[in-house]
Amino acid sequence: MAHIGIVACSAEGAALCYRTICLEAFPLMGEHNHPQITMNSIPMAEHMRYIEQDDWEGVADVMLKSAKTECLLTTDHWPLTTAFEST
């Protein structure tokens, strides 16, 4: 079975990603079944430090640091998650 890793930036985005994986798995894997999911979340405050400075490379570095945690290094797939600033 696949093991999916989620790099969380916002709680809302990570929750939506988790829920989407579970909902999409239902027709493929059956009721109450989904791939193993591991999530790592560096506090949003660390992301915001860079977002507020319009430093998107800094945001990417924080997300990469999260992705490199031991728990996510063992996953088969990482969903593409993004950080963005609305205008």
Average pLDDT across the chain, whole number: 86
Would 50 be classed as within a structural domain? Answer: yes
14: Cβ–Cβ under 8 A, 6 or more apart, which residues? 6, 8, 39, 41, 81
Q: Is 36 helix (H, G, I), strand (E, B) or coil?
A: strand
Would 41 be classed as within a structural domain? Answer: yes
Per-residue confidence (pLDDT) for residue 2, from 0 to 100: 84
Would 54 be classed as within a structural domain? Answer: yes
Lookup: tokens for 85: 């600033």
CA dihedral 35, 72, 45, 12 (to 10 degrees): -10
Q: How many domains does the chain have?
A: 1
Span 27-68, pLDDT tens digits = 999 999 999 998 899 999 999 999 999 999 999 999 999 888
